[in-house]
Chains A and B, each alone.
Chain A
Amino acid sequence: AQRVTQPEKLLSVFKGAPVELKCNYSYSGSPELFWYVQYSRQRLQLLLRHISRESIKGFTADLNKGETSFHLKKPFAQEEDSAMYYCALSVSGGSYIPTFGRGTSLIVHP
């Protein structure tokens, strides 16, 4: 069975500080990993997926199969990054049936 763990319910940083939102997963096959974001009073939206290898809004995430992790990183946090972040996993190459982590609330203080 697939499992996604986001160990931090809340992460609080100051503007300009680096931020890392942790995501660990367990899955015996080849996973596809995603990060979703939900800003206050806005809808849930996809932030990035590991196969895209993109940087979105300054965020990057690298899939580390050895450590079964997909941490989300940004070198300099901005106040507008404050949001709820969800990590999700699906089977690679198969149907999109995501398993989500419980989410991490990121608060960036001015």
Chain B
Amino acid sequence: KAGVTQTPRYLIKTRGQQVTLSCSPISGHRSVSWYQQTPGQGLQFLFEYFSETQRNKGNFPGRFSGRQFSNSRSEMNVSTLELGDSALYLCASSLTGGPNEQFFGPGTRLTVL
């Protein structure tokens, strides 16, 4: 069974730009969660999508948004990038959501210059 994949793996953007990251879950998984990992703030929950609907949301500004498609693939968008958005963005998929049977992707390393 193929694991969770994230594209691109590395990305460099400049302040003010926007970026879209993609996550392809394990086949059959309907839940996709996104996390931000930085040296300063550690690992933080961004949001979760389930069956194309945002089900849970962490404490991030509206510049961070996402969506999920009918095939469960998910995208995360960050608009008006700031230097502090430089981070490793992880996604995780599971059958129904929650920590059980949650599989993480390798992450996308975003650098904002």
Contact = CB atoms under 8 A, between A and B. Distances in A.
A96 B104 contact: no
A46 interface: yes
Given A46-B99, A49-B99, A99 B106 contact: no
Interface in A22-61: 34, 43-46, 49
A21 to B, nearest CB: 15
Interface in A55-103: 86, 88, 90, 95-103
B97 A96 contact: yes
Given A96-B56, A102-B42, A34 B106 contact: no
A103 B90 CA distance: 16
A53 B64 CA distance: 36
Nearest to A98: B45
Chain B interface helix/strand/loop/mixed: strand
Contacts, number: 45
A46 B102 contact: yes
Interface size class of A (residues with CB under 8 A): 10 to 19
Of A34, A43, A45, most buried by chain B (CB within 10 Å of CB) is A43
Given A98-B99, A102-B42, A43 B104 contact: yes
B104 A44 contact: yes
B65 to A, nearest CB: 17
Contacts of B102: 46
Nearest to A49: B99
Smallest CB-CB A-B distances: 3 pairs: A100-B43, A96-B98, A44-B104
Interface of B: 3-4, 42-45, 48, 55-58, 90, 92, 97-100, 102-106
Given A44-B90, A46-B99, A49-B99, 4 more contacts: A43-B103, A45-B104, A95-B55, A96-B56
22 contacts: A34-B99, A43-B4, A43-B105, A43-B106, A44-B90, A44-B92, A46-B99, A49-B99, A88-B99, A90-B99, A95-B55, A95-B56, A96-B56, A96-B97, A96-B99, A97-B45, A97-B56, A97-B57, A98-B99, A100-B42, A100-B44, A102-B42
